[in-house]
Structure 1
Amino acid sequence: MIWTKEQRYRRIEDADKEEILKLQTEVEGCEWRQTFHIQPETGLLNDPNGFSYYNGEYHLFYQWFPLGPVHGLKYWYHTKSKDLVHWENTGIGIEPSGVYDSHGAYSGSAIEHEGKLLILYTGNTRDENWVRHPFQCLAIMDAAGKINKVEQPVIDHVPYGYTDHFRDPKVWKAEDEFYAVIGAQRENETGCVVLYRSKDLQNWNFEGELQTSLSSFGYMWECPDYFEMQDQGVLIFSPQGLNPNGDLFQNIYQSGYILGEPLDVRTGTLTHGSFQELDRGFDFYAPQTMLTPDGRRILVGWMGLPEMDYPTDKNGWAHCLTLPRELWIRESKLIQQPVQELQVLRKQQHDIKDVLFDEKKVYQHFNGASFELICEFENIDAETFGVEFRAGEKEKTILKYDVVQRKVILDRTFSGEPFGEKYGTVRKCSVDGSKLKLHLFVDISSVEIFINDGEEVFTSRIFPGAESQGIRFFAEDGRTLFQASKWDI
């Protein structure tokens, strides 16, 4: 189906009950609905927004177009949790109903201030010639969960030297002042991030552009997120327009970070190392982080990508969010691990320990469509070893280690209904070491893989048939000792 501009910019209030009911029925009939991931009730989900802790609960919003699996008029949808695992949908958080967000409530962030949750987001507007005019808007949520928008934008223009691609404010507080980074595009069509400062979240001063060593690195930087941990400064962002380079930058758009000295807010200088991708898989974008009450830095990403068609589109919905991940720094690298709270999802545990010698084996209880799996390999002289999951007669997703190349390889060539093949069906990254630990969270239509306790992560959607539930362990051209634990979810 080709969606017209008018269809994409319809409001949910313009759809009658019959249309909504029909769409809900299509979605509920989809074989690829997830079981333990945040997903839209209908329509399209994209960027996580406003990830925060307020009034005893975690709050997470996401970009949402309710009327179909396309990018259209964006709302903020609100979900909340007490434990980062069980999420309660509370409905629309911000609707694009004002002069300054008439064509979409775009991405942003939230911070607690004076007993309320203040939400800073980009209001998208279009003029009669369909030219974009972005505004940075403020909304305030009270302890009862009621959200009111401030009538006037708090940043009402794009600074000189930048285009109308100017969005996604991420706010934080340092001492007695607030700061925000905003993704931007220079007039020469290169990407960057700019910095603002405020005393009260209402009146903002433009402090200039963040000074990095990436002066020409893609044409737009989306969803910036700055924070400090372990005495270092981290800038996460999603650059668009990078060319593939070996195993790097294989997706249509990328997400990653630069890490170095804390940001000098007086000069805007960020002294840092090289840009590193956050995720090595096929479907990961626009992540956002928050700080928990006990001091952990937690990340959630969009498990999807812009400008891509997905097999669930025909059922009237698209995309989900990743599981929450705890971050820390090890040897100048961000490490990601699933938050410990997720262990409450575990049902009965099954364990195996065996030696594989040039063979592929299956084991009792090691199967399923929704599970957590941890496997460790050591004493290896095989050239290749690993695991196949969501495997059936003709389908399988392969996760393996190539000893010669010293690379972990995720292969979804035979994972089920194909999509995104223009960007390849294999992802790789280099991992050294004589032991390998693979930690998988497999849901009905996704997998999140943590390598060596979060040294690398692969996030991907997969769309196998319901009957493809096998798990197979293998070694080729030699032997390996392995042990594995599996929990149904």
Structure 2
Amino acid sequence: MNKSDAYNLKYHITPPYGLLNDPNGLAFFNHQYHVFYQWNPKGTEHKHKCWGHVVSSDLVHWQRKSVALEPSEWYDKDGIYSGGGLVHNEKLYLFYTGNVTRDDGVKESYQCAAISEDGEYFQKTGPLFEHPKGYTRHVRDPKVWGDQNGNWWMIVGAQSEDLTGDTLIYKSKDLSNWKCQGSFFEHNSEFGYMWECPDIINFSENDVFVFSPQGLPEVGEYCRNPNQSGYIVGKLSEIGRFNGNLSDFKELDRGFDFYAPQSFKVNDRIIMFGWMSAMNEEAERAVPTIQEGWIHALTLPREIVLSNGVLYQKPLRELQLLRLDGMHYNGEIQKNSVWQLPSLQVELIINFSMLTANFTMKVRDAVQIDYDREQNSLTVWRTNWLTNQREYRKATLNNRLTEIQMFIESSSLEIFANEGEEVFSLRYFLEDTEQRSVLLEAGDNEGEVRIYQLQECAG
């Protein structure tokens, strides 16, 4: 079944068919960027998980490779779940969670590895250690890194037997023999019932623990999605303990659809992908692309920068390679402007030289962005495709708004405010491919608007 122009994403990573979820195994190996992802090639349900695989030389143009990992052994026979990647001694290591349902119905999980010399064919090495005591079967998503002293560290998301979230840390000298060091950091408060996809990002001034806690209560404009992804700024000690406070947790993306992010470092840059979904099961089953035999996508890659305790997510400079020759539009902000987009693949940038009033933007009459100058807040509205009701997400900026950069697709939108101080990622679904208008009701605000048409080069 073909993907329709109404919904197909042509510069995002999507599955060729079936279901895609978490980004996995991110690595730069043999002069190529490798992105793996959770993939069910047999349907659009969360079953039969394999690792799909795409590669790129520029983080823009992606080439599909054959499936990297699929269930084949006793320790992963019911699913290859999420994990990370690592390059060592000219080999690419993948760490993943093997999912098993025994004949008696009991479910088990195993942290496993697979190794490749060419980045295409992987040899599984089996479970790395026994399941930790005091934890349910929900131990998964290993992420591994090395330190300057020749040690290897692994963190895994976990659920304690008291049904609260945690992260465990393991230590190794050879990537084969691992010893549990206990909880990654001390915390006394309950913070959701499971922590998925843990990640550690090292900066010169501080370290950042990224994770996806499930079951956080909604508080005001925060934690409004079914599950969250966020971070804590702290310090990673030489003995593998993270010093940070759960009370400092900040959401990474304030939109409707962002979860399970993973980062990797290439030279001096830290690059992150996320899964563009945070839907509950009922909304997921109503996504129109299921009728076409596929569902979900990854976000665009983002460069991660830490500034004054805040993670900024900046669109990669390589994304400018998507721009077709010449600007479609370049002009000053008018009180009321309407542009007809040249296609359903567009980058739109607004720079504000003087912001004196509220404004409203409508993208394809499907997504609305409201700015409140007094609150210095952005509110993003869409129509829920399941309920047909309007819904919103809202964030208050720390700094006065100076720029909005948007990447528009037929059924996705990524909004970067102030070079990634706040980001809104979301899916929307509109059958009318001829509806390509952007309306800006800008009041007395001054600035410049640029619109670029983008290539179609999805993986």
Relative to the length of structure 2, the TM-score reads 0.93
Q: 1: distance between equivalents of 2:35 and 2:123?
A: 17
Q: Which whole-Å CA distance do the structure 2 matches of 1:297 and 1:421 have between them?
A: 38
What residue in structure 2 maps to residue 5 of structure 1?
A: none
Cα distance in 2 for residues equivalent to 1:40 and 1:450? 25
1:462 aligns to what? 428
Deviation at 1:145, TM superposition (A): 2.3
Contact 1:368 1:470 in 2 (8 A): no
Once the two structures are superposed, the pairs formed by residues 379-398 of structure 1 within 5 Å of their partners are 379-382=354-357, 384-391=358-365, 396-398=366-368
Distance 1:144 1:405, change over 3 A: closer
Equivalent position amino acid for 1:169 in 2: P
1:346-357 equivalence runs, <5 A: 346-347=323-324, 348-349=326-327, 350-356=329-335
- Gaps (5+ residues) in structure 1? 1-24
Aligned runs of 1:231-250 on 2, under 5 Å? 231-250=205-224
| Deviation, structure 1 residue 343 | 0.4
- Structure 1 residue 438: deviation in Å? 0.5
Distance in 2, matches of 1:158 and 1:184, equals 11
Query: Residues 171-215 of structure 1, C-alpha deviation per residue, up to 9 Å, x if partnerless?
Result: 001121110100000111110100001111111111110124463
Match of residue 80 from structure 1? 55
1:63 equivalent to 2:63? Answer: no
**Residue 395 of structure 2: aligned partner:** 429
2:448 maps to 483
Number of aligned residue pairs: 445
**Contact map agreement 1:407 1:431 (CA 8 A) in 2:** yes
Superposed, 1:12-411 pairs within 5 Å as: 25=1, 27-29=2-4, 31-143=6-118, 145-150=120-125, 152-155=126-129, 157-175=130-148, 176-213=150-187, 215-261=189-235, 263-266=236-239, 268-272=241-245, 274-292=248-266, 294-305=267-278, 307=281, 308-309=283-284, 310-347=287-324, 348-349=326-327, 350-356=329-335, 360-363=336-339, 366=341, 368-382=343-357, 384-391=358-365, 396-411=366-381
Separation of aligned partners in 1, 2:189 and 2:243: 12
Cα distance between partner residues in 1 of 2:26 and 2:302: 13
Amino acid at match of 1:407: S
Q: Distance in 1 between matches of 2:41 and 2:434?
A: 30
In structure 2, C-alpha distance between the alignment counterparts of 1:433 and 1:56, rounded to whole Å: 38
Q: Alpha-carbon deviations, 1:352-387, whole Å to 9, x = none?
A: 10341xxx3214x655421001002343332x2032
CA distance in 1, matches of 2:214, 2:37: 20
Q: What is the DSSP-based 3-state SS (H/G/I as helix, E as strand, rest coil) of the residue aligned with 1:342? A: helix
8 Å CA contact 2:65, 2:120 repeated in 1? no
Match for residue 457 of structure 2?
none
Distance across 2 between alignment mates of 1:245 and 1:284: 18
Check whether the contact 2:376–2:400 (CA below 8 A) recurs between aligned residues.
no
Instruction: Give percent identity, aligned residues only.
Output: 39
Summarize deviations over 1:95-131 as a string: whole Å, max 9, x none. 1111000100000111111111011110000112322
Task: Tell which has more relative contact order, 1 or 2 (C-alpha 8 A, sep 6+).
Answer: 2
Q: Is the 8 A contact 1:58 1:82 kept in 2?
A: yes
* 1:432 positional shift: 4.6
Inter-partner Cα distance in structure 1 for 2:402 and 2:385: 29
TM-score (ref. length: structure 1):
0.87
For the 8 Å contact 1:311–1:419, the answer to whether it is kept is no
- Read off the aligned partner of 1:223 and give its amino acid letter: C
Counterparts in 2 of 1:257 and 1:214: CA distance versus 1, 3 Å: farther
Distance 1:435 1:113, change over 3 A: closer
Using the TM superposition, give the Cα deviation of residue 420 of structure 1 relative to its aligned residue in structure 2, in angstroms.
Answer: 7.0
Q: For residues 152-181 of structure 1, what are the alpha-carbon distances to aligned partners after superposition, in whole Å with 9 as ceiling and x for unaligned?
A: 3112x3211111100000000112111010
CA distance in 2, matches of 1:334, 1:474: 30
Q: 2: CA distance between counterparts of 1:143 and 1:149?
A: 14
Shift of 1:419: 3.5
Task: Give the Cα–Cα distance (whole angstroms) in 1 for the partners of residues 449 and 107 of structure 2.
Answer: 53
Query: Which blocks of at least 5 consecutive residues in structure 2 are unaligned?
Result: 455-459
Rounded to whole Å, the distance in 2 between the matches of 1:31 and 1:388 is 18
Q: Secondary structure at the match of 1:401?
A: strand
> Hey, what's the Cα distance between the residues in 2 that align with 1:85 and 1:189?
41
